[in-house]
Homo-oligomer: A and B are copies of this chain.
Amino acid sequence: MLKEERQQKILQILNEEHKVIASDLSKRLSVSEDTIRRDLKELDNRGLIKRVHSGALRIGPPVVDFSTRQHMFNEVKIKLAKKALSFIKEDMVLLIDGGTTNLHLVNQLPLTLKATVITNSPPIAMALTNHQHIDVIMIGGTLFKQSMVNLGIDTVESLSNMRADLYIMGIYKIDPYIGISVPSLSEALVKRKMASISSEILGMATSDKLSTVSNHIVCPTKDLTYLITENISPNIKKIYGSQQVVVVD
């Protein structure tokens, strides 16, 4: 098990259990206590946990997840999210809509990051509770519970007053010929609006999103600026153009 992977695991455990004992982790993760200590020290230096004698404490309240979907492809999504982090710079205005992958991304954002986040997803907003230097602007609308985003006319209208540097788009399905498709018309309208007010668009797609079968409504938006995906479809670079596709192994 890789070091980063292990530390991620520690954060995850800490998120669920509030505290963590070094000797305990040593057994659970099958590494020596020294290694655990080094991990904890590092995570503490990065401000992610509070190191105490014999263990560590969580810093803020636990991050909530809104569906069981959250845990599927968990490791993959974290990988994608980490890759996406490199596109996020200080003082950016980020527009982030729903989706579990986006939620992962938000959970990965460093606590020290200074930025503005515009979102129509309550879980995304709540995940940013502990980020002191991130201003959150919520876009209202009718709550679509299945994906936990606000949609509708009000949502589109509110977005008209805004501009964003980077739109991090949640992806349901993406097909090289059909394009991006979503399960409802209102979602398509909102996504199109979001795309139109953003300078760049970034999408993350796990392999299950790459299916060519699509019973969704096509979302008529301009092309993604960046697509981050798994190394499953080797020909995806050919189809989308290699300069914008980032492949995670």
A contact set with B: CB distance below 8 Å: 2-5, 19, 21, 50, 52-55, 57, 61, 64, 66-67, 120, 122-123, 125-126, 128-129, 135-143, 145, 148, 150, 154, 158, 161
Cβ of B136 and Cβ of A142 under 8 Å apart? yes
Complex Cα distance, B141 from A154, in Å, reads 12
Query: What's the number of copies of this chain in the assembled complex?
Result: 2
Complex Cα distance, B225 from A234, in Å, reads 65
> Which residues of B have CB within 8 Å of A126?
64, 66, 122-123, 126, 148
11 contacts between A and B (CB under 8 A): A3-B52, A4-B52, A4-B53, A4-B57, A66-B129, A122-B122, A122-B138, A126-B126, A128-B145, A140-B158, A154-B158
A5 contacts which of B57, B141, B158 (Cβ < 8 Å)?
Answer: B57
> Which residues of B have CB within 8 Å of A57?
2, 4-5
> Which residues of B have CB within 8 Å of A148?
126, 129
Cβ of B145 and Cβ of A129 under 8 Å apart? yes
Complex Cα distance, B102 from A102, in Å, reads 29
Cβ of B138 and Cβ of A140 under 8 Å apart? yes
> Which residues of B have CB within 8 Å of A64?
126
Report the minimum CB–CB distance from A131 to chain B (whole Å): 9
Across the interface, name the chain B residue whose C-beta is closest to A1. Answer: B19
> Which residues of B have CB within 8 Å of A61?
67
Complex Cα distance, B139 from A137, in Å, reads 11
Complex Cα distance, B5 from A137, in Å, reads 35
Complex Cα distance, B8 from A52, in Å, reads 13
Report the minimum CB–CB distance from A27 to chain B (whole Å): 17
Report the minimum CB–CB distance from A182 to chain B (whole Å): 19
A140 contacts which of B3, B123, B141 (Cβ < 8 Å)?
Answer: B141
Across the interface, name the chain B residue whose C-beta is closest to A141. Answer: B138
Report the minimum CB–CB distance from A39 to chain B (whole Å): 13
Interface centre among A3, A21, A53, A145 (most CB of B within 10 A): A145
Cβ of B137 and Cβ of A141 under 8 Å apart? yes
Report the minimum CB–CB distance from A102 to chain B (whole Å): 15
